[in-house]
Structure 1
Amino acid sequence: NRSPRSNRKELMSEHLATRITARDRAREFPVELYEDGGVLFCKVCQHSNDYIRGQTAVAHLRTLQNNNRSNTDILTSERKEFTLDFTRTLIKADIPVEKGPKFSTFLKKHCKQGGSTPAPYYQRSDYLPELYSQYEGDAVEGKDI
């Protein structure tokens, strides 16, 4: 004979999407969310989100705080500047971009919301070309590289 409490737990667990991943949830909301290292992040506020319950992501995207932030491009430009600086620092220190995630543990400990850094693939595809063009321009102008 089952107790009512165990039935309630079983019913609640039946409603959870047990096989969904952060990447799956990010594919549902590609404009607003992204996945990095198995964690679901909001592109606007860099806040980590629960990816198992879809309603959690929807509720976060509807929050007033998030809507206010989405009206400004400041956060996006700050995020891009951080990532460019982080990638530039790795390059200047002669540290392979693949080692960047090793720094994530330090950043997660000391930065708000984990200081999510992009995966090496995104650093190579999205940020290195921009840094290389800056490098070429600085080399032509004779600036310190």
Structure 2
Amino acid sequence: MERFGVKSPPSRNRSKTALYVTPQDRVTEFGSELHEDGGKLFCTSCNVVLNHVRKSAINDHLKSKTHTKRKAEFEEQNVRKKQRTLTASLQCNSTAQTEKNSVIQDFVKMCLEANIPLEKADHPSVRAFLSRYVKNGSSIPKSDQLRKAYLPDGYDNENQLLNTEDR
């Protein structure tokens, strides 16, 4: 009797998702409508995160009324604002902060080695020169802040350098 039994077809456990599609692949496929940052796919005009695995979700979003409305507003603005992930923003801020600190440390070291009083940094013509010709020059603080925050660090660094040279 087993011979005449009805067998069900083998079940498929495979989902209908693209297995090896990256957000960058979707950006190349859809052009300037989308952009990728930090492994996430963003709609450029709506600034929302989209599921890059399912192409139908992207197509549905691009055909939606809210997207077409926001796209029209976005094209009127003529300003391309792209949303960034938090890690990318923080990474940019941390590199700018380290660059700022190195500029300030070098400025204090230059003033000390050339016997220039730190109060000269407060003069308006020095401020104008620094902001115009030195990258991050406008971020150099006033002389009292230089003395309190950055002079001890420079002093400690020079002291350690002299101690290693004596040995």
> TM-score by structure 1 length?
0.48
Larger Rg: 2
Bigger RCO of structures 1 and 2 (CA < 8 A, at least 6 apart): 1
> TM-score by structure 2 length?
0.42
